[in-house]
Structure formats: structure tokens, C-alpha cells
A and B are shown apart, each in its own frame.
Chain A
């Protein structure tokens, strides 16, 4: 499954709207077409297959129950779905935060490089635009934003991982977010 063309996005929007009308077939098709994406997101953030499976299950049961709150004028279905899976994963991470911080092995494991950028042709226009704006950031700030996005870490955790004071991390991220907004709005 890849969600790159406007036509594919529109199909997913329709499937989610049908799901909101309690259409089980549409929901099954939506799962078939989006679950690998969402499972990839959960696995990337949680780094534990059993936990990612649980969060994926929670995500889709929530999709079924809350599909009526999807507003196609605010976001595309895939953005809505990825957001939901990220939110569930982050909630789960926050629950386990103390355990994780106490576990040095796990801590080392979570410090890694940003994901290898996918081949440009395979990602959406929106993504390519965002990448070019990210490229304009200072390298350290850019990698902090990526680390934050892909691991769901808090400011505190990011500061520890990057070995900088909390205040520095906050200003890096905030400045980056403002710069990204300005760049994307050009």
C-alpha cells in the first residue's frame, strides 16, 4: 500500500466516511489498505512488536468508534489515521516513560539515526516539500525534530539523548517549528 496520489487519498477518505456509517466492509478495506502503514508507525515508536500490535488494535477499534469525528475538510483520512496511531503510541510511551528511563539498554536502543529518506518518487509532494524545508534547518535542530517525530520523545528525553540542556532543546525545537511553518507557507 502506498498513499501518494490524490486519487488514492480520496478513496481512503471515502472508505473512512463509509466506516463512519458503520459499513463493516469499508472498514475491512480501510484496514487492508492502511494497516501496514499504521503498524510501521507504531513499531517505529514503540519498538516492541507485541506492544505495537496492541496499540494497532486500539487504534482501529477507535477508528471504528470515532470515525464520525473525521472531518475531510480538516485533514485527509491517511493523516487522520497516522495521527491517531501516533497519539496512541505516544500515550503508551508516556505510560511506560519511567520504566524506559530506568532501562539503560532500552535507552541506547532508542538513540539512532533518522530513517533513511525514502526514494523521492515514492513519497508525496507534501513530504518532499517538508523535506526541503527541513534541509534548511541547522543539522542538529533538524535531527532533533526528526528524533522527536519518529520516537515520540519528550523534551526531557530529547535533551538527555542529545546531551544538551533542556532549555537548549526547547529553543531548538521551537525555533525549528516556527521556521518550518514560515518555509511551508511560502
Chain B
């Protein structure tokens, strides 16, 4: 039997859940209750109506366009006809733990080779003119020669995975921003990248068109929200040339990767 005190306590728990002060375990308990009990769901909804209006004061911040591209991609919108062919690489590209593991000591070449090895060969019969430069890679090195990040670009699916290799220290309120620098041109912002985990970035057509062996990638120190000017405003802490990843079938142009000073090349 519920006493008024029980009811009060329960109601408080729902209020605490909506406010967000409960620890992970208690949150999970209440979340389960909301799923299974209509009474709990109603009580939580009431507290949401009471408290969520506080969010009215939160400033609007427009997300970068690639977020929508990633959402569409994750939900596989407009991709039904290609779904069968693209499933294996999607699995690989979305395997963040794998990228993280690779980032701990893998060279860009090794990452690129792995992508090639994992790439399905089934598309070949229908597409004799398969792009030979389907993948590109870059080792983004710091001034001291250690690898800061490795970047692998999948041109066909218009995306890039940037994996941190060596921890880089940033002062509070600063974050790394990745730039693409086409030969002789101004840097183009690719996006903010993480220090401690892989970042997947959808490449818009401008970026895609500018990728190539004559372009370079660079990382600069910027405010958390990215450079306010659209050009690098802080120190450039790492740079790397872009190279075509060797093609699986021996087709295409194989360009030597930028020197990987502190890591031996894997024997191929």
C-alpha cells in the first residue's frame, strides 16, 4: 500500500530524474520504470512540463552541416539500391573501437591497407571504371616528429576518419581543428576533431574536390567552437601530406606516404 510519504518520495525521484541529479544506476532504474509503468511515465511527463522550459534560455547553436549528413547516413536514407554493396565498409567505418585500437600505434599506411583489405570486391563486374583513388591517407605529424593523428579518406562514401595517435595536451577552452590546404590555396575547415577518440567527418563536395596528393592536412589550436574567422587563428601543431592509398587490385597510382619517422613501415 502506498502511504502519502511513499508517494511523495516517488514523486521526488521522478523530479530528480528529470532535473538530472541522479547517478547512473538510479537513472537507469527510473528509466526502466517509465517504460513499464504508465503512472511513472505520467509523473515524469508532468515534471518535464514543469522543468524543461528552463531550456528556453539556452542559446541556439547551429550544428555543422555534416551532422545532418551523418544522421542521414546512419539511418541509411536514400541508400536502398546501394545498400548491399556498401554494407561491409559501413560496418568497418562505423566500428569506432576498431579505429581507436588502430590509432594506438598504427600508421596511416597500415590503416589504409586494412581498409583496402576489408573492401568488398563484389562491385567490380558492374563498375569496370571503379575509381582507382578510392582511398587516401595522411599521417598528421607534430613538429617533434611524433604522429598526432592519422586520417583515412573514403572518397566513394565521402568521409574521413581521423584517429588520434599520440596524446596532445590542450589548454582549457582550446580544441584541435582540422584544415585541408589545397596546394597554393587558403586552408578550408574540415571540422573539429577529438583528442581522445576517432572522429568521423562527412566530406562535402568542396572538400572532396580539393582532396588529392598535392593537398595537405593541418591541425591548429582553436576555441572550442572552432575558428571564429573561418581561417586558422591559433598555432598549427601538426601537418601531413595526403597520399593515395595503394589499391587492392594493383590498379591506380600508388604514392609513397609521408615519412613515418617514429614508426617502422609494416612489411607488405
Contacts and interface: CB of A to CB of B under 8 A. Distances in A.
Given A61-B75, A130-B54, A177-B12, A48 B60 contact: no
A168 B173 CA distance: 32
A42 B42 CA distance: 25
Contacts of B225: 49
A117 B175 CA distance: 28
Contact of B58 (A37, A49, A74, A124): A37
B23 interface: yes
A82 B20 CA distance: 13
Contact of A118 (B19, B48, B57, B192): B57
Given A35-B63, A50-B199, A53-B63, A79 B54 contact: no
B19 A39 contact: no
Interface in A113-164: 115-118, 122-124, 126-127, 129-130, 145-146, 148-150, 152-156, 158
Interface stretch (B64-72, B240-248, B260-268): B64-72
Contacts of A174: 12, 16
A83 B71 contact: no
Contacts of A31: 68, 71
B20 A74 contact: no
B179 to A, nearest CB: 16
Contacts of B199: 50
Interface residues of B, number: 50
Nearest to B176: A50
A57 interface: yes
A124 B41 contact: no
Contact of B67 (A53, A146, A150): A53
B84 interface: no
Contacts of A152: 20
A49 to B, nearest CB: 5
A79 B67 contact: no
A83 to B, nearest CB: 5
A37 to B, nearest CB: 6
A50 B192 contact: yes
Residue among B42, B60, B63, B194 with the most chain A CB within 10 A? B63
A94 B27 contact: yes
B193 A50 contact: yes
B80 to A, nearest CB: 12
A41 B70 CA distance: 19
A184 B199 CA distance: 44
Contact of A49 (B42, B51, B226): B226
B21 interface: yes
Interface string B16-28: 1011111110010
B62 interface: yes
A114 B115 CA distance: 47
B224 A47 contact: yes
B21 A155 contact: yes
B21 A105 contact: no
Contacts of A123: 53, 56-57
Contact of B49 (A117, A126, A149): A126
Interface string A8-51: 00000000000000001000100100011101110110011111
B175 A49 contact: yes
A118 B45 CA distance: 25
A154 B22 contact: yes
A24 B52 CA distance: 27
A178 interface: yes
Contacts of B56: 118, 122-124, 127
A31 B51 CA distance: 23
Interface of A: 1-2, 24, 28, 31, 35-37, 39-41, 43-44, 47-51, 53, 56-57, 60-61, 64, 71, 74-75, 79, 82-83, 86-87, 90-91, 94-95, 97, 105-106, 108-109, 115-118, 122-124, 126-127, 129-130, 145-146, 148-150, 152-156, 158, 173-174, 177-178, 180-181, 184
Given A36-B60, A118-B57, 10 more contacts: A35-B63, A57-B70, A60-B71, A61-B74, A64-B71, A86-B52, A105-B172, A130-B50, A130-B51, A154-B22
